[in-house]
Amino acid sequence: VVAQEEDSDLIVNDDLGYPITIVDDARPPIAQFLRERDARFVVLCDSNEHVYALARTIARRNRACLGVYAFPLGESRKRFSTLERVLEALLASGADRQTLVVGVGGGVASDLFGFAAATFMRGVPYAHVATTLVSMADAAIGGKTGVDLKSGKNLAGVFSDPLAVFAHVDALQTLPYRSLREGLAEIVKAAVIEGGDLFDSIETLSPHAFWRWPWTEVVAHAVKVKTMIVADDHKEAGVRELLNLGHTFGHGLELASGYRITHGAGVALGLRAAGLLALRTGRFSREEHLRMLATIALLGMPLRTSQRADNVLAAMYADKKKRDNTLRFVLPRAIGDVEYGVRVPERHVRAVLRELERAPEVTG
Ligand SMILES: NC(=O)c1ccc[n+]([C@@H]2O[C@H](COP(=O)([O-])OP(=O)(O)OC[C@H]3O[C@@H](n4cnc5c(N)ncnc54)[C@H](O)[C@@H]3O)[C@@H](O)[C@H]2O)c1
C-alpha cells in the first residue's frame, strides 16, 4: 500500500517486502535508515558530478562508512570488467559479509552495483539510491541485476532483492532531457498498462513543462504499477511479461539500429507498434490508440522510424525474449487492459513495421 505520511511528501511502497521510499530529498530517510541499521556500509556511485556530490553527503560524518567509491558508468561500462573493479574496491574498503553496500546512481548503477553486492563474498545486503527517472520508476525495483555481454544487453545477472530503495526525486532537476525521456517512455508504458488515474495524469501533464510536474507522485504511481506486477510474478514466468509492453518491437528496433535508437525511443515506437498490431487484430480502438500516440508525441518521443521492416523483424527474432522461435506480443485491448503472450500472423507484424516508417495520421 502506498502510504502518504501526513505533512510530508514521503511515500513508502512496501509491496515487494522492502521499502521503496519516494521523496524530493531522500537524504534524511537514508540517514535514518543507516542509523537504524547501525552497521558498516560502503557507498558506490556513478562518477557523474551530481551523483558523486549526493553520495558524499550520504557518507558525510558517518563513522560507519568505509568509503565512497566512484566509477565512470554508462551503458558501455555495464560489463564484467567494471564489475571486477567494483568487487576489488569493495574488498579494498575492508567490507565483509555483514557490510551494507549503498549504490547511488541510475539504472546502470542499480544493475551493476546490485549485481556486485549479490556476488561479493556470495552476497551482501544492498540498498539503492536512484538518481534517474529510469532507475526510480523501473530499474532499481524488482530485483533484476546484471551486466551486458558483447552479444547483447543484460545477458548475465541474478535476481537479488535490495534491502531498501530510495528515489531522490530532486536528482531529476539535473538530469538531461534525453535521460528523462528514457524514463518517461517506461512511465507511459506503465500508464497504458494501468490506465485510470496514471494515464489521465500523464495525459494532462504532457503539455506542461517538466519542472512543473509533481514528480514524486508520478514516480510513486509508476512504481506502484511495477511493484504490483512484480509482486505477482517475481521471476517473470507470466504476468511480469506485461511490463514488456512495447518491448518486443522496441528491442528489435534498438538492435536493428545498432543501438542508435535508444531503449526509451524503442519503447515509444514499440508502444505505437503494439497499438497498431492490436488495431489490426481487432483488439484496440482507434480512439484509444490516438490518445496514446498524442501523449507520446507531446512528451517529445518518436513515433516513426526509418528502420527497414525486414531488419527489425530479423532483430526481433534474434532477441533473447523469443521462445521456440515464435514472437509473442503484449497488446492493449484498451488503455488499462493489456494482454500478454499473444501470437499473431507474421504478415501483420510486417505490415505494422512498414507502417512505422510513416508518421501517424493524427498526433494530437
Ligand atoms: N533491472 C531492471 O529491471 C532494469 C529496468 C530498466 C532499465 N534497466 C537498465 O537501466 C539502464 C539505464 O538506466 P539509466 O537510463 O538510468 O542510465 P544511466 O544509469 O546510464 O544514467 C543516465 C546518465 O545520467 C547520468 N546521471 C545519473 N544521475 C544523474 C543526475 N541526477 N543528474 C545528472 N545526470 C545523472 C549518468 O551518469 C548517465 O550518464 C540500462 O542499462 C538498462 O538495462 C534495468
Work out the number of other CB atoms within 10 angstroms of the CB of residue 314.
13
**C-beta of 48 in contact with ligand 1 (< 6 A):** yes
Per residue in 350-360, pLDDT (tens digit) is 999 999 999 88
* C-alpha 359 – ligand 1 centre gap (Å): 29
**C-beta of 179 in contact with ligand 1 (< 6 A):** yes
Per residue in 25-45, pLDDT (tens digit) is 999 999 999 999 999 999 999
Q: Which atom of ligand 1 lies closest to the CA of 146? A: 1
Residue 115 has pLDDT above 60, yes or no: yes
Residue 68 has pLDDT above 80, yes or no: yes
Of 334, 338, 330, the residue nearest 289 (C-alpha): 334
Of 76, 113, 128, 134, the residue with max ligand 1 atoms within 8 A of its CB, to mutate for a pocket test, comes to 134
**C-beta of 135 in contact with ligand 1 (< 6 A):** yes
| Dist. CA 179–CA 340, nearest whole Å | 28
Q: Which atom of ligand 1 lies closest to the CA of 142? A: 3
| Dist. CA 85–CA 90, nearest whole Å | 9
Q: Which three cell numbers stand for residue 292?
A: 496514446
| Dist. CA 44–CA 47, nearest whole Å | 9
pLDDT of residue 319: 75
pLDDT of residue 308: 96
Report the DSSP beta bridge partners of residue 334: 337
* C-alpha 85 – ligand 1 centre gap (Å): 19
pLDDT of residue 122: 97
Q: Which three cell numbers stand for residue 8?
A: 510530508
**Range in 143-152, 233-242, 291-300 with the lowest mean pLDDT:** 233-242
* C-alpha 279 – ligand 1 centre gap (Å): 33
| Dist. CA 74–CA 56, nearest whole Å | 20
Per residue in 140-193, pLDDT (tens digit) is 999 999 999 998 889 999 999 999 999 999 999 999 999 999 999 999 999 999
Residue 105: what are its φ and ψ, rounded to 5°?
150, -160
* C-alpha 135 – ligand 1 centre gap (Å): 6
**C-beta of 78 in contact with ligand 1 (< 6 A):** yes
Q: Which atom of ligand 1 lies closest to the CA of 168? A: 31
The pLDDT mean for the chain works out to 93
* C-alpha 240 – ligand 1 centre gap (Å): 21
For ligand 1, atom 6, which residue shows the shortest CA distance?
139
* 97-113: average pLDDT: 98
**C-beta of 262 in contact with ligand 1 (< 6 A):** no
* 222-237: average pLDDT: 84
Per residue in 7-31, pLDDT (tens digit) is 468 999 999 999 999 999 999 999 9
